[in-house]
Structure 1
């Protein structure tokens, strides 16, 4: 696989107690933990490439953190790779979210699109691609989640592929390693 890589993913914001409100303390704690885990992967595991799927919530937060880290001394080698599920992804989002996605696309080391149209299959292909590219999966995820959810299937796929998995619980911010 060459350079070590980590995929970052998580529940849809609707799953969080705070929904889309990022100024809530729980959201701030989750973001802080995501950042700490990304730094640990970089510093301790030698991970230089981070993949995100471009979805609202965890993907966007992680992408913004990775780009901020890249500006800091010692993190110049960090790379953000964005993998979108289909060409029109994000088209129906609110203006602020669209701008955040556009910013990440412009500043990623690479941005690619996996599927052709909006649909479950494109998201599944994207998620499998993210896991296939990565040595690690960092997920904001609740083990009690519905088995039909994309994030659940992604975590299960990562387990099946033997990836090292780091989970951040969306309610308690507890860390679990797999």
Structure 2
């Protein structure tokens, strides 16, 4: 049974999403919500993120909204290092702070400011070591920063009994098409 899941994937700019009101976000959040609901029904208790812009922040927003329906669901934000948002623009920092305020647990793996890329790799390993499953939104067709974590994830899963769900654009597109079709049907 999966009790703790790490959800990660593309950063918003890697998906060419630069505004919080971009229509793609609505569909990605709906997809994430659907994925999480099925995991919750199977016993999911905690969702962990590192607090990266994009998939992780949208996941946090989904978890926060799901708490109304699933009050036992918990959100943990495990940052790679202290002040990891200091170079973000003000809007993104505000969004992050709102999530931190509603998170059930916040911590950083490294209790120091940025020292080097090793901090990201160690945090990725920490997430694998402290969760039962990872949901990774990543597609080989659009290579970006999650490719490094994907390699680590696949190796880890092969060496252990770890569960991973690597979500491709095809899976997301099928979901979106079904969602749009059902929305159109509801207007008839």
TM-score normalised by length of structure 1: 0.83
Matched residues, number: 168
1:9-63 CA-to-partner distances (Å, cap 9, x unmatched) read 111222214x2234333332222111110111111x2111110001111111111
Q: Aligned partners of 1:153 and 1:30: how far apart in 2?
A: 22
Equivalences for 1:122-141 in 2 at 5 Å?
122-141=119-138
Aligned to 2:6: 7
Matched position secondary structure for 1:71 = coil
Aligned to 1:86: 81
Q: 2:10, 2:138 within 8 Å by CA — same for their partners in 1?
A: yes
Matched position secondary structure for 1:15 = helix
Aligned to 1:117: 113
Aligned to 2:21: 23
Q: Is 1:143 paired with 2:115?
A: no
Q: 1:53, 1:84 within 8 Å by CA — same for their partners in 2?
A: yes
Structure 1 unmatched runs, 5+: none
Q: 1:6, 1:51 within 8 Å by CA — same for their partners in 2?
A: yes
Matched position secondary structure for 1:161 = helix
Q: Aligned partners of 2:54 and 2:170: how far apart in 1?
A: 15
Q: Aligned partners of 2:130 and 2:173: how far apart in 1?
A: 26
Q: 2:2, 2:39 within 8 Å by CA — same for their partners in 1?
A: no
Q: State the 1:3 CA deviation.
A: 7.2
Equivalences for 1:65-104 in 2 at 5 Å?
65-72=62-69, 75-104=70-99
Q: 2:46, 2:75 within 8 Å by CA — same for their partners in 1?
A: yes
Aligned to 1:35: 33
Matched position secondary structure for 2:83 = coil
CA distance 1:98–1:171, shift in 2 (3 Å): farther
Q: Aligned partners of 1:121 and 1:170: how far apart in 2?
A: 29
Q: Which runs of 4+ in 1 moved over 4 A?
A: none
TM-score normalised by length of structure 2: 0.79
